[in-house]
Structure 1
Amino acid sequence: MSLHPRPEAEKLKICPHGGPNWAELRAIGLTPKEVLDFSVSTNPLMPPPGVKEIFNTIAIDHYPDSEATELRQCLSEELGVAPENILAGSGATELIRLIPLTYFGPGDSILILEPTFGEYKVACQIMGSEVLEQWGKAEENFAPRTEETINLIRQHRPKGIFICNPGNPTGQYLSRQEVDMILDACVDCLLILDEAYIAFTEGSWSSADLILRNNVIVLRSMTKDYALAGLRLGYAVAHQDIIDVLHRVCLPWNVNAVAQKAGVIALKDTEYLKRCELKIRQAKQFLINELVQIGFELLPSKTNFFLVKVGDGKSFRNALLRHGIMVRDCTSFGLPEYVRIAPRTMPECQKLITTIKELKRKGELNVSI
């Protein structure tokens, strides 16, 4: 008798992500340190002062605080909500997996606004849920269509809705009014509002009071905000009833001691994000100006990253990677003609532009511009 996994696991496809594939780099003779990574939409600057100094101060022979008490207290003061409304996670992705595990099951209909982060679909498929996709249109810059969303909710009565706001990879951003309209249409439906990229979003609004409704979970990523990708740190904000249930299902000791302490130190540096935001916006504008001048078509974005239409995203990425530069091929998002670029430091951005110009001059970039 052979051993078989659950059908949901057997049919599951791995979701591609940005960032270096170490085996791929080794095959072309590069190490991760030799690659300028524009493919991940994280803060490109160094973590807040004091974070690196904690590594020799953490007692790694002790279990971490399973409640992440100090971190949640700092988040409570930052967000203006009670600690009981917060659950810490090992990155927002852990929480994306946790929510369907807690609330969704076989046959449940889940609405996902596409194109978007592939882990929403994976998390739902693991639970055997049926995924309903609403796709944005290229001629509308893939902006969500709120009225259509509301009609789909009323027609299909989904058990849950995943909305990335601002959207990944599009950078489109729903207003408070649009989110309220969607929520008003939700009956017995859980809205997961993923705000992983909110820190560097233009004209952002506070979603904190949405948790007064008992059917909203807001996700945030400290990994992306504070340049802590190697530590993995995120959190969920919701009504206490929701947090209590998620906590019961969540793994114990899910956030390691180093990540918890790094989060506390980061939150206490209240000017850090403001300092970073100015530099990131300047680098983004530089990239936009230069790429437009070269002749590329860029999609408008409200956050730090943006889409560039190149014709063949895979070959464009591979050509740059051979020269130690990585951008995000958006084929896995269902957008094979695009790459996503997130700004890094100004000298690194200048190197990206110089490399693109040189490869284009040599005819080594397969682009349609």
Structure 2
Amino acid sequence: MQQPIHGAIDYAELQQRGLVASQIDDFSSNVNPLGTPSFIREALATVDLAHYPDRQSLALRAALAKRHCCELEQLLIGNGSNELIHLIARALLQPNDPVLLIEPTFGEYAYASSLAGAQLLRYQATSETGFAIDIVACCHLIKQHRPRLVWLCNPNNPTGSYLDAEAIAQLQAACTTVQAYLVLDLAYADLVVGDWGLGIGDWGLGESNSSRRQDGRESGNGGRLTSPQLPAPDNHHQIIYLYSLTKSYALAGLRLGYVVAEQAVIARLQRWQPQWSVNSLAQAAGLAICQHPHWLAQQLEQWWIWSEQLRQGLSQLSLKVLPSCLPFFLVEVANAQQTRSALLNHACLVRDCSSFGLPQFVRIAPRQPAANQRLLNAWRSLC
């Protein structure tokens, strides 16, 4: 299986086209358009690069364990969630183990599972149903095929669809019945607001402090999709929670993620992780985030406002913009590959979703207003 295709700038491609990365407006990466917080940059400036990093990330694990009300041994830091996805596959899968993918979704789940020799089973949501997931059908597949892992990105990339807590509980129950692990990727859970049943990510301390956004949706600083306070292990048996700090805090160039799971699972993952996998800069960034737990909640409304403005602008160009519970969204086009190429000629990079099995869609992640206007101007020139 070939490596997955991802968004973000391909520097070799730009070189072939005679383009310069600094001139490109990147709408293909779901990264906070507000940029890296100043408190993280200040923390990075204090790091002594002459010393090896803490190979166990003890300080950061302790800070996150406190946030999640779990034991230190239930938490593992990784070099981005991508490394952790591969660690999960390597540590928990044997050749020919069945794995269920709830698609369309992030390509690394299938790739990591294939490298471990797993047999891939696929549940495919479709645009005709708004990418809604049939939980009954998924549970039937789990009970019929008895997979070792079930991969679920929720809220989902790239579709922006969302399963509520009741649906997650049904999947968990089905997985527990057949001793499968439900890998619940919550990379984007902090970004959902209002009508979709989630509050702005404020590290979810069980509070709810809702307010009205300008577009009428509710926002607030309470809770994630699942509470980040990890309940007793017997209530969450067979679930592996996967978190990313890359998108929310604009750390794509640094890489930082973590897993919360039962101690036995974490111990197995640790045996596969290379020494010094998480560098000192990433650990310092994570500690700074823990010391500023309300920053994202305070900034997220602006992110959503820019997203709504861009959605409206694209709709005014007679483009079909799909509903999404996230600031990024899909736009229907005649040919995603051609649309991406044409817009890149105007220094605007969008995500061709052909690799997700969606060749008629591109994914758009908002940037700041000036860049968003350049995208609208470029797209208008194609109409």
TM-score normalized by the length of structure 1:
0.91
Cα separation, 1, equivalents of 2:94 and 2:227:
27
Asked if 1:313 is matched to 2:336, the reply is yes
Match of residue 49 from structure 1: 38
After TM superposition, the structure 1 stretch with the greater mean CA deviation from structure 2, 74-83 or 276-285, is 74-83
Distance verdict in 2 for CA 1:301–1:136, change over 3 Å: same
2:324 is the alignment partner of 1:301: yes
Alignment of 1:117-156 (within 5 A): 117-156=106-145
1:249-328 to 2 correspondences below 5 Å: 249-328=272-351
Distance 2:42 2:294 in 1: 19
1:332 positional shift: 0.4
AA aligned to 1:236 is V
Query: Who is 1:366 aligned against?
Result: none
1:139 shift after superposition:
0.9
Aligned residue-pair number: 349
User: Mind listing any 5+ residue stretches in structure 1 that lack a counterpart?
Assistant: 1-11, 361-369
Provide the C-alpha distance between the structure 2 equivalents of 1:114 and 1:302, rounded to a whole number of angstroms. 17
Q: Distance in 1 between matches of 2:94 and 2:232?
A: 23
CA deviation digits over 1:206-234, x for unaligned, max 9?
A: 24446722311111111111111100000
Aligned-residue offset at 1:14: 1.5
Q: How far off its partner does 1:276 sit?
A: 2.3
2:154 maps to 1:165: yes
1:328-367 aligned at under 5 Å gives the runs: 328-360=351-383
Q: How does 1:55-66 map to 2 (within 5 A)?
A: 55-66=44-55
Q: Are the counterparts in 2 of residues 305 and 343 from structure 1 also a CA contact under 8 Å?
A: yes
Match of residue 192 from structure 2: 201
Range moving further from structure 2, 107-116 or 79-88: 79-88
Amino acid at match of 1:346: P
CA distance in 2 between counterparts of 1:250 and 1:211 reads 26
Q: Which amino acid aligns with 2:102?
A: L
Partner of 1:183: 172
Aligned CA distance change for structure 1 residues 308 and 71 (closer, same or farther; 3 Å): same
Alignment RMSD (CA, Å): 1.4
- CA-to-aligned-CA distance 1:83-127 (integer Å, 9 cap, x gap): 222110000000000001000011100000010111001101101
Cα 1:300/1:211, change in 2 over 3 Å: farther
Give secondary structure in 2 for the equivalent of 1:94. Answer: helix
Give the % identical residues: 39
Are the aligned partners of 2:44 and 2:285 in contact in 1 as well (CA < 8 Å)?
no
Stretch of structure 1 that moved more, 241-250 or 118-127: 241-250
Q: C-alpha displacement at 1:80, in angstroms? A: 2.9
Deviations along 1:31-78, whole A, 9 cap, x unmatched?
Answer: 221111000111121212232234442222221111111111221233
User: Structure 2 stretches of 5 or more lacking a match?
Assistant: 199-224
- Counterparts of 1:157 and 1:267, CA distance in 2: 38
The amino acid of 1:146's aligned partner reads I
Aligned to 1:152, the other structure's residue is in SS state helix
C-alpha contact (below 8 Å) 1:48/1:266 kept by paired residues: no
Kindly indicate whether the alpha-carbon contact (under 8 Å) linking 1:190 and 1:215 is maintained by their aligned counterparts in 2.
yes
1:211–1:237 Cα contact (<8 Å) kept: no
CA shift for structure 1 position 335: 0.2
Q: 2:210 corresponds to which residue?
A: none
Map 1:85-124; keep pairs closer than 5 Å. Answer: 85-124=74-113
Secondary structure (helix, strand or coil) at the match of 1:111 reads: strand
Deviation of residue 27 (structure 1)? 1.3
Amino acid in the other structure paired with 1:206: T
| Structure 2 Cα separation of the partners of residues 43 and 89 of structure 1 | 20
Aligned-partner Cα distance in 2 for 1:174–1:154: 19
Give the Cα separation in 1 of the matches to 2:83 and 2:125.
26
SS of the residue 2:183 aligns to? strand
Instruction: Report the residue type matching 1:198 in the other structure.
Output: A
Q: Give the alignment's TM-score, normalised by structure 2.
A: 0.88
Matches within 5 A, 1:234-245: 234-245=257-268
Q: Please report how far the alpha carbon of residue 163 of structure 1 lies from its aligned counterpart in structure 2 after TM superposition.
A: 0.4
Deviation at residue 300 of structure 1 after TM alignment: 1.1
Aligned-partner residue type, residue 196 of structure 1 = A
Equivalent of 2:183 in 171, 188, 192: 192
Quick one: which amino acid aligns to residue 172 of structure 2?
L
Q: Is contact 2:155-2:188 (8 Å) kept?
A: yes
